[in-house]
Amino acid sequence: METMNERLAALRHGLMVSCQAADGDPFHGPASMARFAQAAVESGAAGIRANGAEDIAAIRATVSVPILGLHKEMQADGRILITPRFEYAAALVRAGADFVALDCTRRGQAFGALDRLRRVRAELGVPVVADIARIEEALAAVEAGADAVASTMRGYSPETEDIRRFEPEFIRALAGQVRVPVIAEGMIHAPEQAAAALRAGAFAVVVGKAISAPGHITARFAAAMDREAGRLPERHIIGVDLGGTQTKFGLVSSRTGLVEQGSIATPAGGRDVLLAHLERVAVQALERARADGFRPSLAGIATAGWVNPADGSVVYATENLPGWTGAGIAAALHPRLGIPVAVENDANALAVAERWFGAGRDVDNFVCVTLGTGVGGGCYVNGRLHHGSHFFANAIGHVMVERDGLPCTCGLRGCLEPYANSAALLRYGASGGYADAGTLIRAAGAGEEPARQAIRTQAGYLAAGLASIIHLLDPERIILSGGLAQENPLLFEELEIALRTRVTVWPQRRISLLASPLGYHGGVLGAAACALEMFEAV
């Protein structure tokens, strides 16, 4: 095996700071970039990434750490390309760059990146770092001789532009497949993410704007405060809530909530039928909004199944939605709608709706539980929706309340869902002969004892499940949504009585139990709120 270039080896587990400022930025220019580089190195940066020979010469005169050079230039297709010509690479090396970065995405390869890579290594004798967005691009670059690969282009190439967050799992997958160092770069905003990149197998981590762009950093702080103070500009968002039988859709204002709404039957069929259906519904909602004079700038989709919000795909769905596992919803809808598309699990989306528009606006730690045919939930922990490491978190319906109890739709036994859903409620009230859950709840309100006893029994099981969640997360608030929680004060009274005996130090917790105020279109609000959270949140 070749020994690694010494300068490259020096970056092992190190932080590289990307010091770049575009034309028009007050910090544009070699002198500013050299000062940023100096500050970075004095505070622990192991290397610098910089653009253009002029900046690199100034940085080289200031610091001695390795420099990864690149040269950005607009191409005939209207997009920037990283180091599109051999001559640029030569100038970077002359200016003091230790390595050169080349865009080796599919588009970069179409502009001759792999031949350029070979030539840079052979004629300039410096290591080449391949900036890529996908694993196959990395493999091709390594095959051509790349000395390292960097995830720089993930989220920025045409094939990956639906990805909006740093993905440690991509770094892990990349590190597992290529035999050269993997440099994590792109959308790393926080120290925890840089540490997560190392845990995922990154050789080094590049952080740019989050360190070296004061304008960008200021904007993030200002936006966070504007959002809290209700000062964000009004946005209009298309929301679609794909249910097993009905698809609800609408136009949502970030300030006032639902503006337009509608509902249509969900067709039966596999993935293609559902994707075509979603596309049709979203396009119609968008066209109607535009006809009414609105300019929606985002779209959100809520769907059953576990969702990876980073790329808007369904990680896993049960046979309620056949073929839905693996569906790339954002990738399919984005080109048709022409606006960014966020995708989220429907129960999670309801929690996000509460956070932006409902009963969770003023709290950072809350649990939202949906009660209907199924039982689902979403948990906010320290102001963030908790997703878990595989996006499987918040399966509140499958918390065990009865060892080896009733069979559940998930295949296990004794889950909360078959003890707290609408079928369970009707079962508990069977002696009253109620036609549906709504009738039973109204009868309980009118004082009928079999109905009241049924709700008491349901509340007892719900308390058993929620006690586990409360002991784990210590929330400030429990929000109940879905048909069974509406106009059902008895459920809340009985739930509180049952929780008091099942939760330790109940009086000190002062947990509020609230009904969701969002109503029938909560899922549409949730889908839209997920888009706000993904594309507007800071």
Which residues would be at the binding site for Zn ion (CB under 5 A)?
398, 408, 410, 412, 415
> Phi/psi of residue 129, each to 5°?
-100, 120
| Among the listed residues 381, 316, 385, the one whose alpha carbon sits nearest the alpha carbon of residue 349 | 385
CB of 468 to Zn ion, least distance (A): 14
- How near is the Cβ of 526 to Zn ion at its closest, in Å? 22
Q: Which residues of 131-140 are buried (b: 16+ CB within 10 A; e: fewer)?
A: bbbbeebbbb
Nearer residue to Zn ion within complex by CB, 98 or 417: 417
Q: How far is the CB of 324 from Zn ion (least distance, A)?
A: 18
**Min separation Cβ 318 and Zn ion, Å:** 10
Q: Which is nearer to Zn ion, 171 or 415 (CB)?
A: 415
> DSSP assignment, residue 220?
H
**Residue 234: other Cβ atoms inside 10 A:** 8
Structural tokens at position 367: 């649990």
Q: Which is nearer to Zn ion, 65 or 396 (CB)?
A: 396
What is the maximal distance between C-alpha atoms in the chain? 89
Q: How far is the CB of 102 from Zn ion (least distance, A)?
A: 50
Nearer to Zn ion, 23 or 319 (CB): 319
Which residues does residue 344 pair with via DSSP β-bridges, in sequence order?
302
* Phi, psi dihedrals of residue 513, rounded to the nearest 5°: -105, 120
Contacts for 76 with CB less than 8 Å, ≥ 6 apart: none
Distance in Å, CB of 365 to Zn ion, minimum: 25
To Zn ion, the closest distance from the beta carbon of 455 in angstroms equals: 22
Sheet holding 375-381, edge to edge: 384-385, 375-381, 366-371, 477-481, 512-515
Smallest separation, CB 450 to Zn ion (Å): 27
> Shortest Cβ distance from residue 389 to Zn ion (Å)?
20
Question: Residues 83, 86, 88, 90: is their CA dihedral positive or negative?
Answer: positive
Nearer to Zn ion, 408 or 525 (CB): 408
Q: How many residues does the chain have?
A: 538
Comparison of 152 and 421: residue with beta carbon closer to Zn ion:
421
DSSP H or E segment with residue 473: helix 449-473
CB nearer to Zn ion: give 300 or 397: 397
- Our CB check for Zn ion shows the closer of 375 and 495 to be 375
Of the two residues 265 and 412, which places its CB atom closer to Zn ion in the complex? 412
Distance between CA 70 and CA 84 in Å, rounded? 9
Rounded CA separation 71/81 (Å): 8
What is the C-alpha to C-alpha distance for residues 394 and 389, in angstroms, rounded to an integer?
12
Least gap, CB of 388 to Zn ion (angstroms): 16
How many Cβ atoms from other residues are within 10 Å of residue 500's Cβ?
11
* Nearer CB in complex with Zn ion: 112/372: 372
What minimum distance in Å lies between the beta carbon of 418 and Zn ion? Answer: 8
Of the pair 216, 413, the CB lying nearest Zn ion is at 413
The closest of 24, 39, 33 to 54, measured between CA atoms, is: 33
Residue (of 496, 519, 494) closest to 509 by Cα position = 496
| H or E segment to which residue 237 belongs | strand 236-242
Distance CA(368)–CA(98), nearest Å, equals 53
Residue 90 carries which side chain, given as an amino acid letter?
A
Radius of gyration of the chain (CA): 27
